[in-house]
Copies of this chain bind each other. A is one copy, B any other.
Amino acid sequence: MAKIRRLGVLTSGGDCAGLNAVIRAVTYRAVRHYGWKVFGIIDGTMGLMERPLRYRELDLDMFSGNMLREGGTFLGTVNKGDPFNYPMPDGSTQDRSLDFVDGFNKLALDAVVVIGGDGSMRILSQLCERGGIGMVGVPKTIDNDVHGTDFAVGFTTAVNVVTESLDRLQPTAASHHRVMILEVMGRDAGHIAVNAGISGGADVILIPELPYRLESIAEKIDQVIREGRNHALVVVAEGVKTEDGLNAQVAHSHGQTRYGGIGHYLSDRISKMTELETRETILGHVQRGGTPSTRDRLLASAFGVHAVDMVAKGRLGRMVAWQERGVTDVPLSEVCIGPRSLEPDGTLINVARGLGIYIGESP
């Protein structure tokens, strides 16, 4: 195990809340406890691929103000392409992975902490392998679809934003006797939709993991109306397909109708089936940013400290993780296997069913 003196840290992939809190924890642990130097790489892999190198030394003073509470990443996370297949101006691609490795060596780093999601973790672990670079990963993604960890940084903030939006949509739905459809992030997995749907009082939650029937949705809304409600709330993950399995943005299956997305599709279908007024809302990028939740700050702090301790102990090629009630770590090889779906009979899906929410047919 090599003696560490200079540690790099970078953020990669889509931003989310809590990244700065991870960087802060990494710096606090590495500088205060181990006395290392910490270098923040600017704009993900780009900072080490471009010349001159783009980075800044991170000192404790940088975090004396508000950084813990700021959304996004002050290091930036611009992605101009996979270094192994980097897009060139002439349309071809080029393997620029050695630029990354060379940048790492030029900066004389001993190891790097990579804060990223599913995809970034895979590419970065290949880059590090290529260069014999010691890497520790920290999982982050609003979608929470990283294998090996119960929670990734940024997820609960996104859930809070969605829940708050449902809190705002419920009274306007009730005032107008409407069915409100809220389309939320989640291309491959329904973590945000299920968590926020339950906590925000949804009647219907649709996720990529479970098939659904429009007729069952209409029946559920009818039931809610019979119980004395005058409105209903539907939460749908963006990755959900039309009932017949098409991408809603290109679907032309119902005559002339062209849909802007799954929310639009459901709004149209539900209004026709139930004769109730419907309205859809697409939350988009507001789910990404903003002040991190308490839980994301805790997670970020635990992950940052543990990541540095792993570097110190030479436990490399691994990702920090939250399992059960504490922080641990797993091999990167177990993580880089694609997005993590919700288990069809996991706790929250059962809670949703237990409350009487329609969350799709049993598979």
Contact surface of A with B, Cβ cutoff 8 Å: 11, 14-15, 17, 19, 25, 28-29, 32-33, 43, 59-61, 64-66, 68-74, 76-78, 150, 156, 159-161, 163-165, 167-177, 180, 195-196, 198-201, 227-230, 260, 279-286, 288-291, 293-295, 297-298, 301-302, 305-306, 309, 323-327, 346-348, 350-351, 354-356
Question: Given A25-B355, A198-B298, A169 and B286 touching (CB < 8 A)?
Answer: yes
Contact indicator B356/A295 (Cβ below 8 Å) = no
Q: Which of B72, B174, B260 contacts A72 (CB 8 A)?
A: B174
CB–CB A64/B229 < 8 A: yes
Q: Which residue of B lies closest to A194 (CB)?
A: B298
Partner of A354, one of B29, B60, B150: B29
Residue of B nearest to A328 (CB): B347
Q: Given A294-B163, A295-B156, are A305 and B355 also a contact pair (CB < 8 Å)?
A: yes
Kindly report how many copies of this chain are found in the complex they form together.
4
Contact present for B297 and A163 (CB under 8 Å): yes
Chain B, residue nearest A347 (CB): B326
Q: Contacts of A161 on B, CB cut-off 8 Å?
A: 168
User: Top 5 nearest A-B pairs by Cβ distance?
Assistant: A72-B171, A305-B354, A61-B228, A71-B171, A168-B290
For the complex, give the distance between the alpha carbons of A323 and B347 in Å.
12
A298-B199 in contact (CB<8A)? yes
Q: CA of A282 to CA of B281 in the docked complex: distance in angstroms?
A: 8
A227 → B minimal CB distance (Å): 4
Contacts of A176 in B (CB 8 A): 14-15, 76-78
CA distance A351 to B167 in the complex (A): 29
Nearest-neighbour CB distance to chain B for A326, whole angstroms, equals 4
Complexed CA–CA distance, A326 and B346 (Å) = 8
Give A207 Cβ to nearest chain B Cβ, in Å: 16
Instruction: List the B side residues contacting A297 at CB < 8 Å.
Output: 163, 198-200
Q: Which residues from chain B contact A293 at a C-beta distance below 8 Å? A: 160
Contact indicator B15/A172 (Cβ below 8 Å): yes
The residues of B that contact A346 with a CB separation of less than 8 Å are 326
Docked CA distance A312–B235 (Å): 30
